[in-house]
A and B are shown apart, each in its own frame.
Chain A
Amino acid sequence: MNALAILSMAAGRPAAEILNFLERLKILAPDMAAEIDFWLVALQTPLGAENLAAIAKVLPGEIVNIFKGQIDPRDHPSDGI
């Protein structure tokens, strides 16, 4: 499982179509090639089951802390979308 697979399921479009779109965008906008290459790697990086299990393990504690008023914010770019 990777970010591309989740995005593909959520959007209802094949993963190959999203990759093809990014590859075509790279040809059309060569000055953005570096950023698009970054996305191509980032989207296909596996989300390990161990990583997701580790997150599931810490979530209850974080929820308890929130209700105790112990707020511990982070700056996540995806929260801006």
Chain B
Amino acid sequence: MKYLLAVLLVLIAVPAPAASLASLYGGINGVWFQDTEALPAPFKADIEAVGHGKISLSPHLSGVGTVAYGFSNTYFRYSAGGRVTVTDTENKNFSMGLGIEYRGASIPGLKPDEWCPGAAVAVKPWPARYPKLIVGGEGWYGLETQRAGMALAARWQFDL
């Protein structure tokens, strides 16, 4: 984790270009976690309030980070990592990214913190009328716990 933070600090120190480099997002998730000993249901679901950020460094490479609060199970969850965009990089309205993120949480049922490869797909459903609105989905798989998770998301974008 300390290496990831060091990389992010180096990236933040790089001079920003004229184009928008970073964005912040606010929104909600519907999230499902695969079963654990602490979470007996086959999939444990929750609604989360989400703060998310991204740094786009090249046409295909981005850094992303998320903090989320789960209302039903009263937890905080975070993730940070990198993504590679595998769809048309010039399409501003639809994209898919593959990547790996370090994920952690504040409650035992969602621990241990671990690295998770995953995929995210998103679209701007009304790019002309609401260009800052994004809806999409994300799935991940814990390398240590071998537990999967999935989220359906709605976001509002704030350019920095």
Contact = CB atoms under 8 A, between A and B. Distances in A.
A3 B65 CA distance: 22
Given A10-B119, A71-B21, A77-B123, A62 B60 contact: yes
A51 interface: yes
Interface residues of B, number: 61
Interface residues of A, number: 36
Contact of A73 (B57, B122, B151): B57
A48 B87 CA distance: 10
Contact of B121 (A13, A73, A78): A78
Given A71-B58, A78-B85, A78-B96, A11 B90 contact: no
Contacts of A80: 23, 25, 52, 54, 122, 134, 136, 155, 157
Given A71-B14, A73-B20, A80-B155, 5 more contacts: A72-B17, A73-B55, A75-B92, A79-B95, A80-B23
Interface of B: 11, 14-17, 19-21, 23, 25, 32, 34, 52, 54-62, 64, 83-87, 89-90, 92-98, 117-125, 134, 136-141, 147-151, 153, 155, 157
